[in-house]
Chain A
Amino acid sequence: MQTLRPSVLIIAMMGAMALSACSKQEPAVATNPPVVQAAPPAPAAAQYPENVYWGDTHVHTGWSADAGLDGAVTSPEDAFRFARGDEVKSNTGQMAKLKRPLDWMVITDHSDGMGTINEIRAGNPEMIADPFLKRMYEAMSGTDEAKSAAATLELINLQSNGKLPKQVMDPKWMVTAWEKTIQIAEKYNNPGKFSALIGYEWTVNAGGGDNLHRNVIYRDGADKAGQELPLTTFQTMDPEKLWEWMEKYEAKTGGRLLAIPHNGNLSNGRMFEETTFTGGPLSRGYAEARQKWEPLFEVTQIKGQSESQPSLSPEDEFASWDLWDRGNLNGNAKTPGMYRTEYWREALKSGLRLEAALGANPFKYGANGATDTHTGLSTADDDNFWGKFKTVEPSPTRWKPEIVGAGKPGAMYGWEQAAAGWMGVWATANTREALWDAMKRKETYATTGPRMKVRFFGGFDFVDGDAADLVKAGYTKGVPMGGDLKIAPAGKGPVFLIAALKDPEGANLDRVQIIKGWLGTDGQTQEKIYDVKWAGDRQPDANGKLPPVGNTVDLKTATYVNSIGATELVTSWTDPDFDSTLEAVYYVRVLEIPTPRWTAYDAVRYKISMPKNVAMIHQERAFTSPIWYAPN
């Protein structure tokens, strides 16, 4: 390095600037600050939410360490362009485009090692001084996908066990990436048309891969979000500390934050454990803080659903879907009893019991659906599914490899990825503020991908005919999804107005159900599922079970026809088992008619066959945030 060649100069200069970022928090390259123009004024907000807005709260780009390591090169810029409907080049060089744009999106790259991956990919000497990072670099620069995937798994494993190399944890690498992330969100935020929300993922893998991840979502723009650095798990892994950090952020900036936990199914019993993170007893303060900071829970995503588990809901014939229930994020096997504190439905019930004991409900979670893609491409359509990682982007063999927990009891295979999900938000306008406010009040529902329109209201004063003008009646005489019903007037029970309209480009609907959980006088929680409206003239059998809707899927062509099912299902429903003295929680499940799963589209597209155990047909679905009834 004796001659002062330009390339050498560049290295020297960039190194200097990265270091200076440590104290000055300047972007690494600041000679030409972009002209960020003020966003156009927000459109006028409606009186009550008339539109549902579709989006994803959980998107990783190549800037996330594990995604970048696996070969993802998409930037936040690519991710926003893709979500708003532009064609972008995928990580494998294929052109990718959504058939229908999303209305909003949050990019949630991991705060742990934010920006680090670029340094590793580029071979920063400080980074590759560590033998593991050196292996990562080699995996990333090579073309051997198996090696690359193996290194990703190793990264997750090391992070889970708190053994990540020191270099990755140095916050000085983070500053630039966070500032750039914010700046890009500002650029693509277009109120009324496409909302680009700011966020990050706080990725706690406790005790070797017990998934306690949270996505932190900002209501704010760059002026506030840029005032503080995201919290990393190198600083703390305790969710109570996260809430403390959120409170500090709000106090300092005047901004607003909420957090969405995900993948209870991979937490090995820890997501809804009935102790604090450090093993102490739950308290009213804990319950109130959790309820305040975490209004929503992600019930469905590519790594499986955390809504229901068949062994917890033996009466529910639809509880078994997209299950990733064999281990944690590292494939460490589960022990009996873990399911009870992993799934949303059970947590909603346990919350009632804990509320009675603590005076506040720690698990008062509405419904969120998101993808958790690590490709920068938010896709939840089965006929246009781009996979979890770069190595499982569309290809004839992507269904084969172990993608999580390789070689362990809880290993999961490519074909087990779920092409899911998205969230519908009933907001008064398509703006960061209106969308965030709706998430905060839980006026949301999760779907596995289809964009069906679902309404759900509860109240004591609805009368016959209110279902005909359901929206007005719902808002003026009751509460929407996510709301609370207080003590019932004497002699009255709650009435629920429910409406579901199929996705305009999607499959017909099979049925609409109410899932009810309650706390019995014996202190035990219960659940019951009611079919409240269904397609066709099916009659329930002697046990009250409704016959299946049928199946039109043709696996030779990966097609279905809407010759069965209904366009919309609208009804009002009164709880026949209502007891005004018992705490209860109600949510709606909407089921579509059977349609081809993404594996079936792959089989036709690539003219391949997969083993018999690979699921090819499924019933896509939506889950609303609950309405709670509390007699006290």
Chain B
Amino acid sequence: MEPNLRINSLLKEPLLHFLLIGAGLFLLYGEVADPSADGNRVTVNRTVISALATQFQATWSRSPTPAELNGLIDSYVRDEILFREGVALGLFKDDPVIKRRVRQKLEVLIEEEGRSGAASDAELTDYLNKNAAKFRMPPVLSFEQVLFDPANYGETLESAVTASMAALNSGAAPESQGKGSMLPSRVEELPLDLVVRDFGDEFAKALESAPVGRWIGPVRSGFGVHLVRISGRKPGYLPALDAARRDVTREWENDKREAALANNYARLLEEYDVVIEAESPAAAR
């Protein structure tokens, strides 16, 4: 089962650069650091020991004692021997595991490739505009409210609300109405998403389009009914790139990452003839 990758198309891509850098590192590493590539000898050289000690230091903020270091070295040697025995048994051959390994590494590379280079301001601005819903700043509301919990009023709810509405329209303070509650009577400059968080969806929706400057109601919420006066409403808006750069960059990168994976697979798939001969329903495409 030979893969039918198009080397030519790969050559044109930044992926190749990555591969070359990686190959270079691999060769370099082999030159300077390979401690143990020879037959039945396990060499524990200074590089290995200092790596083990560094690892220990990174956890404990101190160097290992001689006994601890000996333990780490023993463990390293055991790893080496068992690893080589495993290889000698041919466990790496013709194993689906290898397939998965290659797949994952290729996917990582593709993700990284998708991330190559920072986006230009023009690209980010374009992304911001095309995904405006993601980045819109919510309206900001200031309001006063009085809650009427039906459980506290029973049959008298409607008349209590009507009486309070009259009082409020004559200038009564919201604190003087209703029976008090843990909800604030006055709310200053709260973004709509936090109004949803504190008062619930139904209430926030009603306030989104309500008139400013006069008492309205009853407005329903999960707590009961409210009388509300909106004192200020700053409309929602799409921020300029500079104000949203961090968010836009993060989302742009995430889209790139996901798209790179999907596109690359779709492109590769086109180069293969996939023949599914089984009749199992799972094979249906």
- Nearest-neighbour CB distance to chain A for B46, whole angstroms, equals 11
Of residues 181 through 211 on chain B, the ones whose CB sits less than 8 Å from some CB of chain A are 181-183, 196-201, 203
- Nearest-neighbour CB distance to chain B for A427, whole angstroms, equals 14
Cα A566 to Cα B3 in complex, Å, equals 67
Assess whether B272 is interfacial by the CB under 8 Å rule.
Answer: no
Residues from chain B with Cβ under 8 Å of A10 in the complex: 19, 22, 102, 105-106, 109
Q: Indicate if the CB atoms of B29 and A501 lie closer than 8 Å.
A: no
1/0 contact string of B68-97 vs chain A (CB within 8 Å)? 000000010011001101110101100111
Assess whether B63 is interfacial by the CB under 8 Å rule.
Answer: no
Cα A251 to Cα B100 in complex, Å, equals 42
1/0 contact string of B103-116 vs chain A (CB within 8 Å)? 11110110010011
Return the chain B residue nearest A244 by Cβ.
Answer: B60
- Nearest-neighbour CB distance to chain B for A534, whole angstroms, equals 12
Q: Indicate if the CB atoms of B25 and A17 lie closer than 8 Å.
A: yes
Given known contacts A16-B29, A25-B58, A125-B97, A503 and B19 CB-to-CB distance under 8 angstroms = no
Given known contacts A6-B19, A167-B79, A29 and B51 CB-to-CB distance under 8 angstroms = no
Query: Which residue in B92, B101, B198 is a CB contact (below 8 Å) of A504?
Result: B198
Return the chain B residue nearest A167 by Cβ.
Answer: B79
Assess whether A463 is interfacial by the CB under 8 Å rule.
Answer: no
Residues from chain B with Cβ under 8 Å of A23 in the complex: 33, 47, 50-51, 54
Stretch of B125-133, B158-166, B219-227 with 4 or more beta carbons under 8 angstroms from chain A: B219-227
Assess whether B274 is interfacial by the CB under 8 Å rule.
Answer: no
Assess whether A32 is interfacial by the CB under 8 Å rule.
Answer: yes
Assess whether A67 is interfacial by the CB under 8 Å rule.
Answer: no
Query: Which residue in A11, A134, A228 is a CB contact (below 8 Å) of B59?
Result: A228
Of residues 230 through 260 on chain B, the ones whose CB sits less than 8 Å from some CB of chain A are 245-247, 249-250, 253-254
Q: Indicate if the CB atoms of A29 and B112 lie closer than 8 Å.
A: yes
Return the chain B residue nearest A232 by Cβ.
Answer: B59
Q: Indicate if the CB atoms of A504 and B25 lie closer than 8 Å.
A: no
1/0 contact string of A142-180 vs chain B (CB within 8 Å)? 000000000000000000000000110011100000000
Cα A8 to Cα B120 in complex, Å, equals 34
Residues from chain B with Cβ under 8 Å of A248 in the complex: 60-62
Cα A559 to Cα B85 in complex, Å, equals 61
Given known contacts A13-B23, A19-B29, A121 and B100 CB-to-CB distance under 8 angstroms = yes
Return the chain A residue nearest B247 by Cβ.
Answer: A190
Assess whether A252 is interfacial by the CB under 8 Å rule.
Answer: yes
1/0 contact string of A11-44 vs chain B (CB within 8 Å)? 1111111011011010011011011010110000
- Nearest-neighbour CB distance to chain B for A17, whole angstroms, equals 7
Assess whether A455 is interfacial by the CB under 8 Å rule.
Answer: yes
Q: Indicate if the CB atoms of A228 and B58 lie closer than 8 Å.
A: yes
A to B contact number (C-beta, < 8 Å): 205
Query: Which residue in B105, B151, B203, B254 is a CB contact (below 8 Å) of A14?
Result: B105
Q: Indicate if the CB atoms of A141 and B100 lie closer than 8 Å.
A: yes
Cα A122 to Cα B97 in complex, Å, equals 6
Q: Indicate if the CB atoms of B59 and A122 lie closer than 8 Å.
A: no
Cα A505 to Cα B200 in complex, Å, equals 6
1/0 contact string of A433-460 vs chain B (CB within 8 Å)? 0000000000000000000010100000
Residues from chain A with Cβ under 8 Å of B198 in the complex: 504
Q: Indicate if the CB atoms of B117 and A11 lie closer than 8 Å.
A: no
Assess whether A219 is interfacial by the CB under 8 Å rule.
Answer: no
Q: Indicate if the CB atoms of B249 and A11 lie closer than 8 Å.
A: no
Assess whether B265 is interfacial by the CB under 8 Å rule.
Answer: no
Assess whether A499 is interfacial by the CB under 8 Å rule.
Answer: yes
Assess whether B99 is interfacial by the CB under 8 Å rule.
Answer: yes
- Nearest-neighbour CB distance to chain B for A473, whole angstroms, equals 13
Assess whether A335 is interfacial by the CB under 8 Å rule.
Answer: no
Residues from chain A with Cβ under 8 Å of B200 in the complex: 504-505
Of residues 464 through 497 on chain A, the ones whose CB sits less than 8 Å from some CB of chain B are 468, 470
Of residues 187 through 225 on chain A, the ones whose CB sits less than 8 Å from some CB of chain B are 187-188, 190
Assess whether B10 is interfacial by the CB under 8 Å rule.
Answer: yes
Return the chain B residue nearest A501 by Cβ.
Answer: B182
- Nearest-neighbour CB distance to chain B for A12, whole angstroms, equals 5
1/0 contact string of A117-145 vs chain B (CB within 8 Å)? 01001111110111000100110010000
Assess whether A9 is interfacial by the CB under 8 Å rule.
Answer: yes
Residues from chain B with Cβ under 8 Å of A172 in the complex: 55
Given known contacts A37-B249, A248-B61, A568-B149, A20 and B25 CB-to-CB distance under 8 angstroms = yes
Given known contacts A10-B109, A122-B105, A128-B97, A468 and B23 CB-to-CB distance under 8 angstroms = no
- Nearest-neighbour CB distance to chain A for B262, whole angstroms, equals 12
Residues from chain B with Cβ under 8 Å of A190 in the complex: 246-247
Cα A598 to Cα B104 in complex, Å, equals 36
Query: Which residue in A34, A229, A503 is a CB contact (below 8 Å) of B58?
Result: A229
Cα A632 to Cα B187 in complex, Å, equals 43
Residues from chain A with Cβ under 8 Å of B21 in the complex: 31
Question: Could you say which of A12, A14, A229, A468 has the most chain B C-beta atoms within 10 Å of its C-beta?
Answer: A14
Cα A19 to Cα B108 in complex, Å, equals 17
Q: Indicate if the CB atoms of A32 and B112 lie closer than 8 Å.
A: yes
Return the chain B residue nearest A249 by Cβ.
Answer: B61
Residues from chain A with Cβ under 8 Å of B5 in the complex: 5-7
Cα A6 to Cα B83 in complex, Å, equals 25
Residues from chain A with Cβ under 8 Å of B51 in the complex: 22-23
Assess whether B278 is interfacial by the CB under 8 Å rule.
Answer: no
Cα A320 to Cα B253 in complex, Å, equals 48
Return the chain B residue nearest A14 by Cβ.
Answer: B105
Can you show 5 pairs from A to B with CB atoms below 8 A apart?
A20-B33, A171-B55, A455-B182, A505-B200, A505-B222
The 10 closest A-B pairs by CB, nearest first: A123-B97, A129-B86, A13-B22, A504-B200, A122-B104, A125-B92, A23-B51, A122-B101, A16-B26, A123-B100
- Other 12 A-B pairs with CB < 8 A, given A252-B61, A567-B151: A5-B3, A6-B19, A25-B54, A32-B112, A35-B118, A122-B100, A125-B98, A167-B79, A187-B250, A453-B182, A504-B203, A568-B149
Which A residues have a C-beta under 8 Å from some C-beta of B? 5-7, 9-17, 19-20, 22-23, 25, 28-29, 31-32, 34-35, 37, 39-40, 77, 81, 100, 118, 121-126, 128-130, 134, 137-138, 141, 166-167, 170-172, 187-188, 190, 228-232, 235, 245, 248-249, 251-252, 453, 455, 468, 470, 499, 501-506, 508, 535-536, 562, 565-568, 570
